[in-house]
Amino acid sequence: MKGLNTFTNSEILALKKLIAEKEIATPDKQKGIRGKIRKIGFYFSDFSSRKDGYSVADFEELISLKKIKISDSSYRIEPNSTNKTIEKNTTVEKKNSSDSKSLKSILETFKKNRFDPSIDSEIIIANSSGNYILCLKKNSTLPTVSIKPILTNFEGLEIIYTGIASGSLRTRDFRQHFKGNNAGRSTLRKSLGVLFGYKQIPRDSNPATGKSKFNIEDEQKLSEWMCNNLVMYFLPTADYRDIEIELINQFNPPLNLKDNRNIINFDYRRLLSSLRSKKYN
Q: What is the pLDDT of residues 110-149, one digit of tens each?
A: 999 999 999 998 889 988 899 999 999 999 999 999 999 9
Parse the chain into domains and list their residue ranges: 6-89, 103-277
With CA atoms as reference, report the closest residue to 85 among 93, 77, 94.
77
Q: What contacts 72, CB < 8 A, 6 or more positions away?
A: 8, 9
Alpha-carbon distance values, 89 to 31, 86, 125 (Å)? 31, 9, 11
Between 86 and 198, residue with greater pLDDT: 198
User: Could you tell me the sign of the dihedral formed by the alpha carbons of 165, 166, 169, 175, in that order?
Assistant: negative
Across the range 193-219, mean pLDDT stands at: 82
Binned at pLDDT 50, 70 and 90, residue 183 comes out as low
Q: What is the CA radius of gyration of the chain?
A: 21
Are 117 and 175 in contact by the 8 Å Cβ rule? The answer is: no
Split at pLDDT 50, 70, 90, the class of 84 is very low
* Alpha-carbon gap, residue 15 to 25, rounded angstroms: 15
* 123 vs 210, residue with greater confidence: 123
| pLDDT at residue 97 in the model | 33
State the pLDDT at residue 58.
83
- Given a cut of 50, is residue 173 above it in pLDDT? yes
Order of all β-strands in the sheet with 114-115: 114-115, 230-236, 130-136, 157-165, 153-154
Cα–Cα dist 185/89, whole Å: 27
Q: How far apart are CA 52 and CA 35, in angstroms?
A: 17
Query: Which backbone phi and psi does 65 adopt, to 5 degrees?
Result: -85, 0
